[in-house]
Structure 1
Amino acid sequence: MRQVFLSSCNLTLHVVVRRLCTNANVKWNSHKVRQTFINYFKKWNHVVVESSSVIAPKQSGMLFTSAGVVQFKPIISNLNVPVQQSRPMDSLGLAVSCQKCARVNDLNLVGKDRTHHTFFEMLGNWSFNGTMSKQTVCTHAWQLLTKIYCIDEQRLHVTYFGGDKQLGLDADQECKQIWLDVVGVQQCRLLVGNAKENFWSIGETGPCGPCTEIHVQLPDGTLSELWNVVFMEYYKHEDGSLQKLSATHVDTGMGLERLCAILQNEDSAYGTDLFKPLIDSCQKLTGSPPYEGRFGVDDVTGLDSSHRIIVDHARMCTFAIADGLKPGHQEAGHVLRKIIRRALYHVSLLGEPRSGVFPNLCSAVVDLYADTYPQLQSSRRLVDQVLVEEEKRFSGTLTKAKARFDRMQEPIDPEVMFLFYNTYGLPMEMVQNLAERRGVPFDLQEFEQRLQEQRRRSLTNKQKQQLRVALQQLELPSNTDDTLKHSTMETQTEDGSVAYQTACCEGRVLAILRSQTPVTEVTSDDQVQCSVILDKTSFYATDDGQTGDRGILRWREGEFLVDSTTSLEHVVLHHGRVLCGKLIAGQTSVHCLVDVNSRTACMQQHTALHLILGILRQHLNISTEQPLTGMINRQSAWIQFYSLQSVQSKNYLLQLIDKHANMLIEQNCPVITQIMNLENAKLLLKDDFPRVIDSKTKTIRLVTLDIKPHPIHQLCRAGMHVSTLGKLYHISPISLAEVNEGYSSLTLQDSAKIGLFVTQHRAMLSQSQHETFLGNYARYLWRLRRVACKFLMLHA
């Protein structure tokens, strides 16, 4: 038998429900939906908290406010600080708000499906420090949906957390029983969820906990998440470990757009009063055919998708600019510019090009939301000015990009297509359209992989800042002594080949960082990534584009696997995990054992880049006013340079580099590294001396490939090189691409593997076949090395 809600406030609850409840035939406009939610929880003594900015605070580690809980994160994150001793907001017990949110992770899906939006409003209520029980929270959610909004109970399904062995957490049986015994949800509509679906966190780190979700069944039978209720009981660290919070908090969230679609009987939010007026305005401003609400394959012309993209982006841009964000080249500003340009591109698809469409549409957004967010009215002029200027800027950029693209010779490297997106800032759909026009393969999966790589680099920058703070707190006695990192010695093996070994080094463990937090010890049982700081090391830390060393830190009772080495503020950090034993800060001394094979491969790649750059300077007018950028690891290397003349006849130039470089390798010329006075270096290099050198520099490091009669000189702040060019085996550049006006990028594959591949396949040819190739032997080797590169990339 269904049990009633047992609490001292049971009678009051039903009084509130009767006062607020209306019949199921009521017309729910978005304003009424929003205000009903606020009023319901206000009557339950929740403090109404105004929406914070859609731009996330810097200390949050996010670009945009992605959920209503973001502004309350300081309250929840205080693991050991009493509520009254923290910020004023921390005195809150219960709160309710309608938060402006932005999410841009799945930008390419926005407008293409029914659910993704860049801007949305999050209805939410919160309980801090155990003010409200799970039972009360779940009951409130169910009563509001079924008695106030009058959604049929038979359409609602509920999920709860079923536990997770990896996290070490049991199923949330308390939550399960509340839904069954107190609220009265039928067993057949109560579903168990895993950690992926029913364990929620604010970000990669921070407060988290099991959640229960209420889903609504749509007319087509599918379930759509409507309301998420999170019981914040833990704090997740960067290594994935969970720490129990001193008090339990409750965070709930329900998207206004999705709720409006359900209450207004629409199959998506685009049919509600939050979007329909904007779509109508868009159609009038562009003169396009009427919007028909088609999705996927039914949207044959793509015009309906363009309408949705434009109006969605108009909402996001309007609120972001009104909250103070400006389009730019970094972080949130860069994302805003990308969204504006995507919208402008789709405006161009709806009709004849005309200026002012998007700024005028954003003005319509202000009109639509002015009553709810009065500050938009005062920002109307600012929004218009910013968007008009961006429209002009994009028009100029688009003209240059199209001209550059049309001048490119066939075949166009697919890598260049990504750089039109990354460098020129063209929307992905436009890049895809340009590629299709010229028959260039466009691999969406590869495109997404490159985007992920960019995101990983951004995370690295954030981690650097966290490390910097941690190092300041450690107050280390001195910087790391890494003078032995250049001590790589060559020895001759029995078969005549060259083997390398590094200098033996012993260092004492000064500190251990786990998730950028100092710890006293770490063991193999912990199975976590951490960073070890030594007083002395022979490991080379990533610098000047060359990837840091890998290897082992060994002591009597154990080993630490180093999978990467970096440095910050002259402190070398060995990143990895304990394989066996215990590592104790301030006590353990270790032997540094560098992975010689990995270092040797990096040395070969680094010297190979210097050789190729020297050859390129003979054929291209490479600017000394722009810094060189690149990356070197054990498998490949690339370098980007600025040339005052465009790269013509790309394949011919690659063959020329291949022939010249491998001829010099056979001569086995010495590679000399020396520290030189700045003035002497200027006299030696003359016009090739870089103009980007800091004027305060007194001495510089010069790497010379001692080729007679014209040696190749290159300034090099750091990095390692082989002793002679003969150690490079073979060089084969696999691509040379013009990536932007004047900028070109050259990529290399592992020279040792290519040399082995070429040798093996050359031996497979019979004498008669070899004679057939003899007349065009150089071209044969060129093609064979190209095959080697592709083969090795496919089988990496």
Structure 2
Amino acid sequence: MTAQEIRQAFLDFFESKGHKIVPSAPIVSKDDPTLMFTNAGMNQFKDYFLGNQTPEVPRIADTQKCMRVSGKHNDLEDVGRDGTHHTMFEMLGNWSFGDYFKKEAIAWSWELLTEVYNIPKENLYATVFGGDEEEGLPADEEAKSFWLEYLPEDHILYGNKKDNFWEMGDTGPCGPCSEIHIDLRSDARKAEVPGRDLVNMDHPEVIEIWNNVFIQFNRKADGSLEKLKASHVDTGMGFERLCMVLQGKTVTYDTDVFTPIIRKIEALTGKKYGGSFTPDAKSDMAMRVVADHLRAVAFTIADGQLPSNTGAGYVIRRILRRAVRYYYSFLDVNAPMIHQLLPVMVAEMGTFFPELKAQQGQIAKIIEAEEKTFLNTLEKGISRFESIEPKDGVIHGEDAFSLYDTYGFPIDLTRLMAEERDLKVDEAGFEAALAAQKARARADAHKKVGDWHIVRDGEEVEFVGYDHLTVEDAHVLKYRTVDIKQKKQFQVVLNRTPFYAESGGQAGDTGLLFFGEEKVPVIDTQKENELIIHIVKAFPEDMEAPVRAEVNTIRRQATASNHSAVHLMHAALHEILGEHALQKGQNVDDKRLRFDFSHFQSMTAGEVQQVEDRVNAQIRRNIQLEEEREVPIEEAKASGALMLFGEKYGENVRIITFDRDFSRELCGGTHVAATGEIGLFKILSESAVAAGVRRIEAVTADHAATYIQKELDALQDVRQLLKSPKDVAKSVAALQDENKALKKEVERLRTEQANALKGGLKEKVETIGEVNFLSAKLPLDDANAIKTLAYQLEEELGNAFIIFGAVANSKPQLTIVISKSLTESHGLHAGNMIRELAKAIKGGGGGQPFFASAGGKDANGLDKALANARDLVLG
């Protein structure tokens, strides 16, 4: 079976068992503050397990795009070193929410593996939870009894808490699990050692392929377990490992998931992939790393996460740069290559994941631009490496860490380059510096989440903020305290709320909660999965008091104006630039809007003005908002409403329309009732974010009027300074021309002044051995003129050491020029010498062996510095 057939067979099987097949959630986690990336198939269903939401159907199956490159689950450093770990992978899963449980989950996993995929039964082993005395948890004899219907007892093993008790994180849904392992060894090797002895022993040919998790508990912040109201099934089977098993391979990289990409790498590099995992097979490892990392980077960009210097974007940039380092170091490629692999990947996966095919061109441009930037950085890093001065043949750990932190050099690349020069690396020092950095990062990101204190149980949260900005009859469902960087955050959840929680790029509401007569300010509203959390200044005295919730209406209206303006601008961009100008991110609050969109070149001033004019025209039309709620997703698609890649849409969606022939989008944010409420739209800037991605920042309503008034006031100030000319621009241009002419005249006079000094300076030259030494304090205040004069004299004198002192704007400066013949024959180094001489003027500087300059604070030290220079030359 091909990879595509294997995936389809899984989905078809569970659809036949009454499961609804749902699309993968985005790989970038947007509304779950505990996760940076989706790292397991169950992430999108957490609210169902916790009881915060009720699923529309009790049985679901899917293949989920996952990433394990951060936090508790991090496989990045293992990628390429073995044959089964990956950054991005697919997790095939089937789910039961309070419906079937252990018996059916085990029976269906057995049926699929042995009857659909035809895996030999004798090669399979199952593990069940063996209990844990400290937790007071018994062994899962129930699961074992179901397995005994299919497997002999010697193929069923008890596992410990580490292997057979699955937990989402430090807190949250959890429960015992039953893993399925397969023995891929030859019959001869099976006869030597029974497969049961190698289960969970990290043997490369006895591996886990499926995990059936039986979610029964919730782990609380104090470590205790509480029983959930309903029991659930959460299963996960690694798609890549399954392909390996069914295609008779021993490593995932030999399956058709990866082989087309690796063949393309071979074609581009001229190197042959040998499939070796020995430490010296660097090119084989590099091909695996590149093939894996291509998938991770392409899928995350397709889901809207651009490489950047913060958060998830920083992780993506690191992954991409890791791939570049490997092909640069071990495949002898020094030009962008990864983007050339994308068409092969899209050909294999684009049918099932259409977001790849639809955005292929843009993804390639973003990757190529990142590659070019980092290849330049690598070259600089190599130059930095060559400038490092080892001590006793060892590169200091801090220097190795600087290469890692500043230039992205992994320690193995530094080690490789050191070995080529017969040097060693202080790896203990490197690890210490790395550990210190991680400790700082942990301290910066420290977050301790307390347990929810339940006030009322069994109710779901209802958001009524589209229709109401005040709710009179709400009550608290639960509350908790969160410590972030040693500051307490107080969180409250209500059963009904008008407060919009931050999501989709729109800021959360602020306002007030009244607990009886007690007033509690809401400073922000956040979303955790589908839970609306009010962040308050302090908890009220009585949590059971009836709650009156009031949104800050002025702030909400301003935010809604900006969000609606984004929709109008998005439509205008489509008209003026083309349908390719799709949203790639937005950030909207009450003060301004920021909108990122796909476009491959900077907008012209005319295009920016056209967009602004088009939006303002729609505002003046005062178009009434047309809002449709709970529209079935398929119906929304058929209607032509704009949908965005990387967004998670439910079965029913909300459509926001401002004139069906102009703007019609799926959106969960808040909007104005009519476009006239926006008042005015003004673009502040248009700039680049990444290759093929542009950003517009703009303001609306009062902020737009204030901005324009400030600009008019500034223009009026200029008019007054220019004596109110009719044409301000022409007058400013004339001043600029005059300024350029004056600068040229000043430059000419300075040159003449410097030339006039030249004859007198030559008379001061002192011959010290082979050195023509010249030391002088000059009446010049222009560093370039001094440098030019020094170079002219050096050329005329030959074998010269020239040091000049001068004062510019009351600050002393030193300049040294040394003939290259002296730097070689006498070992003189201007950069090193000037650092010592600059101490006399309480300053510092540096430079090359033949030229250096320094500035200082004490002009009285110039004479001493010049005298000390003579001593250095004599010494």
Band the TM-score falls in, shorter-chain normalisation: 0.5 to 0.7
- Alignment of structure 1 residues 743-758 onto 2, 5 Å: none
Q: Is the 8 A contact 2:388 2:399 kept in 1?
A: no
Match of 1:282 in 2: 265
Match of 1:747 in 2: none
Q: TM-score, normalised by structure 1?
A: 0.52
Decide which of 61, 71, 87 is 1:118's aligned counterpart: 87
SS at match of 1:296: coil
Match of 1:292 in 2: 274
SS at match of 2:32: helix
Decide which of 61, 64, 74 is 2:37's aligned counterpart: 64
Superposed structure 1 runs of 4+ greater than 6 Å apart: 443-446, 467-470, 530-533
Indicate how the Cα distance of structure 1 residues 75 and 261 shifts in structure 2: closer, same or farther if over 3 A, else same: same
1:163-199 Cα shifts (integer Å, max 9, x gaps): 112222111111111111xx33101000000000001
Match of 2:157 in 1: 191
Indicate how the Cα distance of structure 1 residues 303 and 515 shifts in structure 2: closer, same or farther if over 3 A, else same: farther
Q: Is 2:375 the counterpart of 1:405?
A: no
**Identity between Structure 1 and Structure 2 (%):** 37
- Alignment of structure 1 residues 670-685 onto 2, 5 Å: none
Decide which of 213, 221, 229 is 2:179's aligned counterpart: 213
Match of 2:237 in 1: 254
- TM-superposed deviation, 1:296: 2.1
- TM-superposed deviation, 1:447: 5.6
| Distance in 2, Cα, partners of 1:134 & 1:295 | 39
SS at match of 1:207: strand
Match of 1:417 in 2: 400
1:290-321 Cα shifts (integer Å, max 9, x gaps): 11111125xx3421111111111111111111
Indicate how the Cα distance of structure 1 residues 70 and 201 shifts in structure 2: closer, same or farther if over 3 A, else same: same
Decide which of 162, 166, 175 is 2:134's aligned counterpart: 166
Indicate how the Cα distance of structure 1 residues 206 and 434 shifts in structure 2: closer, same or farther if over 3 A, else same: farther
CA RMSD across the alignment: 3.1
Match of 1:378 in 2: 358
Match of 2:125 in 1: 157
| Distance in 2, Cα, partners of 1:463 & 1:238 | 15
Match of 1:267 in 2: 250
- TM-superposed deviation, 1:238: 3.5
Match of 2:555 in 1: none
| Distance in 2, Cα, partners of 1:58 & 1:452 | 30
| Distance in 1, Cα, partners of 2:404 & 2:30 | 28
1:425-446 Cα shifts (integer Å, max 9, x gaps): 2234323323434555447677
| Distance in 2, Cα, partners of 1:334 & 1:245 | 37
Q: Is 2:23 the counterpart of 1:50?
A: yes
Indicate how the Cα distance of structure 1 residues 156 and 334 shifts in structure 2: closer, same or farther if over 3 A, else same: same
| Distance in 2, Cα, partners of 1:281 & 1:444 | 36
Indicate how the Cα distance of structure 1 residues 380 and 531 shifts in structure 2: closer, same or farther if over 3 A, else same: closer
Q: Is the 8 A contact 2:220 2:451 kept in 1?
A: no
SS at match of 1:37: helix
- TM-superposed deviation, 1:112: 1.2
Indicate how the Cα distance of structure 1 residues 416 and 469 shifts in structure 2: closer, same or farther if over 3 A, else same: farther
| Distance in 2, Cα, partners of 1:55 & 1:170 | 37
Match of 1:368 in 2: 348
Unpaired runs of 5+ residues, structure 1, are 1-27, 85-89, 471-513, 519-529, 534-568, 570-584, 587-685, 688-796
SS at match of 2:212: strand
| Distance in 1, Cα, partners of 2:382 & 2:34 | 36
The one-letter code sitting in structure 1 at the alignment partner of 2:19 is: H
Q: Is 2:354 the counterpart of 1:389?
A: no
Q: Is the 8 A contact 1:111 1:308 kept in 2?
A: yes
| Distance in 2, Cα, partners of 1:254 & 1:443 | 42
Decide which of 107, 113, 116 is 1:145's aligned counterpart: 113
Q: When the two structures are aligned, how many residues end up with a matched partner? A: 444
| Distance in 2, Cα, partners of 1:396 & 1:322 | 25
Larger radius of gyration: 2
Match of 2:100 in 1: 132
Q: Is the 8 A contact 2:24 2:63 kept in 1?
A: yes
Indicate how the Cα distance of structure 1 residues 269 and 450 shifts in structure 2: closer, same or farther if over 3 A, else same: farther
1:671-730 Cα shifts (integer Å, max 9, x gaps): xxxxxxxxxxxxxxx99xxxxxxxxxxxxxxxxxxxxxxxxxxxxxxxxxxxxxxxxxxx
- TM-superposed deviation, 1:531: 11
Indicate how the Cα distance of structure 1 residues 186 and 98 shifts in structure 2: closer, same or farther if over 3 A, else same: same
| Distance in 2, Cα, partners of 1:269 & 1:402 | 34
1:354-390 Cα shifts (integer Å, max 9, x gaps): 4231110123212221111111111112211111111
1:379-426 Cα shifts (integer Å, max 9, x gaps): 112211111111121122112222222112222321321232123222
Q: Is the 8 A contact 1:122 1:256 kept in 2?
A: yes
Match of 2:666 in 1: none
Unpaired runs of 5+ residues, structure 2, are 191-204, 454-478, 490-522, 524-539, 542-809, 812-875
Match of 2:5 in 1: 32
Match of 1:498 in 2: none
- TM-superposed deviation, 1:54: 1.1
| Distance in 1, Cα, partners of 2:258 & 2:218 | 38
Decide which of 157, 167, 170 is 1:201's aligned counterpart: 167
The one-letter code sitting in structure 2 at the alignment partner of 1:118 is: T
Q: Is 2:65 the counterpart of 1:92?
A: no
| Distance in 1, Cα, partners of 2:107 & 2:177 | 15
Q: Is the 8 A contact 1:257 1:269 kept in 2?
A: yes
- TM-superposed deviation, 1:464: 4.1
- TM-superposed deviation, 1:239: 3.6
| Distance in 2, Cα, partners of 1:446 & 1:76 | 45
The one-letter code sitting in structure 2 at the alignment partner of 1:135 is: K
| Distance in 1, Cα, partners of 2:230 & 2:282 | 51
| Distance in 1, Cα, partners of 2:178 & 2:416 | 43
My pick for the range that moved more, 363-372 or 442-451, is 442-451
